[in-house]
Structure 1
Amino acid sequence: MSVLALDTAQSESQMCAEFAELLGLPEPVDEAVLRAALSSDSYARSLLASRRTPQMLQMLLMSPPRQVRARAEHTTTELFQRGSRSLVNWARSGFSTTDPLAREQRSEACRQCPHRQAPGASLLQATRSELGICGLCGCPLSRKVSMLSESCPGEMPDTPGVNRWGQVITVSHPSN
């Protein structure tokens, strides 16, 4: 093991121990908890707020938000174009929104998606939602799941041709 790798491992385990101490825990927190707290302000705040409620704290420690991939960068121009198309399509649908059951099903699919990311720094990705941002398209998921005209850009791993929301994926070809 290299010296740098050893230092990184020691500092991460030290940070896990220090974070546990801050939370009033006798043992270091899991590395996944530390990483999730560092990437999600709301998760970190929830942990700190739950210090005096052991059952809630344990529940939060057992299920940290998943942060699988590094943030994909979407340019402001790309986000603006996607947002504009989305708004036009939504207007064409009569500003139709999903019913509560469909919205919750879409939200749950997004929560389980490995492409889901914490909210971006871009103003066009601004969201206060725990759902965060779609790493594939850069859209705020709380808005995306609510708009009937939207679809998920991610394909189901075991079902080619179907997106994570259970919709058949159609490919639109630009007109010549």
Structure 2
Amino acid sequence: MEDSQLSGNINQQPTQKPVILGAGQRISDQDYKAAIADLAYADQLLQDPSPENTDNTAPVSTVTLIKEVANSLLKWTKTGFNAVTEEIYHIRIAACKTCPHFVNPPHDKGLLYKIAGADVHHKSTCNLCGCVIKTKARLPHDTCPDADANKPGFNRWGELVPYK
């Protein structure tokens, strides 16, 4: 497709969206809108347009997931069921959307993730910790388990890595 054919408002060209983003297949309107609003997310789509998990990280076991949820619920109770500000939430979500560990939930745990509120057909979980991102990002006591390669001592959310 030539540049001359890409005239007009980009939102008025739904059949050209994959070409504009460089994807080999049509992406969802939700991903398209997110890519327009967030250049880091658009970059991630260009690097990995498929929703499949191509990361070699082993999935988190069901027992570990249940323990982590119970532990997180207990901590959340102790905070008085507080949540982070919308600004912090959006910073965390944006960081997750550019992360290679942001994946579809494992197919064998679809029901478990569906109960937890994950979108089982799209990227919605972290395969390092197994958490549903939209939930974890709201909790003030939770943090990203992955170190930021560009900022030693910080995680991908830009938060200090706690010493254990």
Q: What is the TM-score normalised by the length of structure 2? A: 0.64
Greater displacement, 163-172 / 115-124: 115-124
Map of 1:44 onto structure 2 = none
- CA deviation after TM superposition for structure 1 residue 94, in Å: 1.1
C-alpha contact (below 8 Å) 2:144/2:156 kept by paired residues = yes
Q: CA RMSD in A?
A: 2.4
Map of 1:157 onto structure 2 = 149
Identity of aligned residues (%): 28
Relative contact order higher in (CA < 8 Å, ≥ 6 apart) = 2
User: Which is higher, the Rg of structure 1 or of structure 2?
Assistant: 1
- CA deviation after TM superposition for structure 1 residue 105, in Å: 0.7
CA offset digits 1:112-155 (Å, max 9, x no partner) = 11111112232333312755111111111111111122101110
- For residues 100 and 18 of structure 2, the distance between their equivalents in structure 1, rounded to whole angstroms, comes to 25
Q: How does 1:52-131 map to 2 (within 5 A)?
A: 53-59=14-20, 61-62=22-23, 63=45, 64-65=49-50, 67-70=53-56, 72-121=58-107, 122=109, 123-126=111-114, 127-128=118-119, 130-131=122-123
Identify unmatched segments of 5+ residues in structure 2: 2-12, 24-44
Structure 2 counterpart of 1:104, one-letter code: H
CA offset digits 1:55-113 (Å, max 9, x no partner) = 33434653325744045221111000011111111111111112221111100100111
C-alpha contact (below 8 Å) 1:117/1:132 kept by paired residues = yes
SS class of match (1:155): coil
Identify unmatched segments of 5+ residues in structure 1: 1-24, 26-51
- For residues 95 and 158 of structure 1, the distance between their equivalents in structure 2, rounded to whole angstroms, comes to 33
